[in-house]
Amino acid sequence: MRVRTPFGRVGFGKRLVASVAALATIAGIGVVAGTGTASAWGTGNGFQQFRVDGCGMPGGVKVRSWSKPGNYKTVVMLDGLRATNDVSGWEHETNVQNMVDRGVNVVMPVGGAASFYSDWNAPSNFNGQTYTYKWNCVIANTLPQALYARNMVPSGKLAIAGISMGGNAALVVAANNKRYYSHAFSMSGYLNLSAPGMKSAIRVALLDADGGPWNSDSMWGPPWSTRWYDNDPFVQITKMHDLKVRVASGSGIPGGYNQNDNAVSIVQGVPLEMLSLAQTRAFEVQAFVNRVQLTTDYPFAGTHKWGYWQDMMWRALQQGWFR
């Protein structure tokens, strides 16, 4: 499993403490728990692999999907900060592909490490990137168009869901692309990226991410750039009317999926989820004030770990959220 980005928000004083904790937490962290192995999903079960236009990213974007005739919804699954280029973390670490047998097609774009699934301003000059990330263009345009062309959007519009970095991206993408997306789900996301201290936390997280160091100035510009607000779900809340929004976060209390973790893994994973919980709760209040349709999932136990995110997806299915 790969570490997910640590940001948090409570009150002004607490936010500062949370930000400092976030910076301390990710410094030097390579992994939180075991890496797992990719599941053998390459045949049957409605599996397809194809590429979509990368909007200038060389080679396009690999997509792995599971679909069946008669299913009622298709969900696009976004990965976290340390996304790899072989398959999505969702495929590496969970069984959500099995939702294809319960009425929901599953689509996983592959790659995008440290991208926040955004269109960057420029290539990252810290690590010698030779092209500019254009992930928003893919998730908001070329991927939906490819899915429509393949008759993989049975309900007319898509759902989108993501963890950590992919959680806040899912909400922003759906808010700005309601012609394609009707449902948006953030799990353990950091939903106020422009809050005090968060920009510094993101900067440090990108320096540490695989393939880095990545330069956050190349992503959304310097801290005073308005692009930080354009990509902040908390700020973009008024665009989420007419969407079915769902947010989830664990408590930070270790549970069943932590039984085999060592002490270091638990100490690393707990603060990440507590910070996410604080920002997710704040976003819930923001949604209530702005009358945005919202459902929530706050399990008693849960750290920043794939098993808990897998359960969050299945609960969403069982509770009818994809309908």
pLDDT digits (tens, 9 = 90+) for 65-118: 999 999 999 999 999 999 999 999 999 999 999 999 999 999 999 999 999 999
Report the percentage of the chain scoring pLDDT > 70: 86
At residue 11, the pLDDT reads: 35
Out of 1-5, 60-64, 206-210, 265-269, pick the least confident. Answer: 1-5
- Average per-residue pLDDT in the chain? 88
Confidence bin at 12 (pLDDT 50/70/90): very low
At residue 43, the pLDDT reads: 53
At residue 314, the pLDDT reads: 98
Mean pLDDT for 256-266 is 86
Residue of 198, 194, 197 whose CA lies nearest to 230: 194
Confidence bin at 262 (pLDDT 50/70/90): confident
Confidence bin at 268 (pLDDT 50/70/90): confident
Two tokens, residue 206 = 């990108």
* Residues forming a β-bridge with 245: 184, 294
At residue 18, the pLDDT reads: 42
For 112-143, the pLDDT digits (tens) are 999 999 999 999 999 999 999 999 999 999 99
DSSP 98: G
Confidence bin at 44 (pLDDT 50/70/90): low
Neighbours of 258 (CB within 10 A): 20
At residue 26, the pLDDT reads: 38
Residue of 172, 277, 294, 174 whose CA lies nearest to 228: 172
Report the percentage of the chain scoring pLDDT > 90: 79
Confidence bin at 13 (pLDDT 50/70/90): very low
What does pTM read for this prediction?
A: 0.89
At residue 208, the pLDDT reads: 87
| pLDDT above 50: residue 149 | yes
For 165-203, the pLDDT digits (tens) are 999 999 999 999 999 999 999 999 999 998 889 999 999
Edge-to-edge order in the sheet of strand 47-52: 47-52, 61-66, 104-109, 73-78, 158-163, 181-187, 244-248, 294-297
Residue of 187, 159, 315 whose CA lies nearest to 244: 159
Mean pLDDT for 284-309 is 96
Residue of 171, 159, 168 whose CA lies nearest to 193: 168
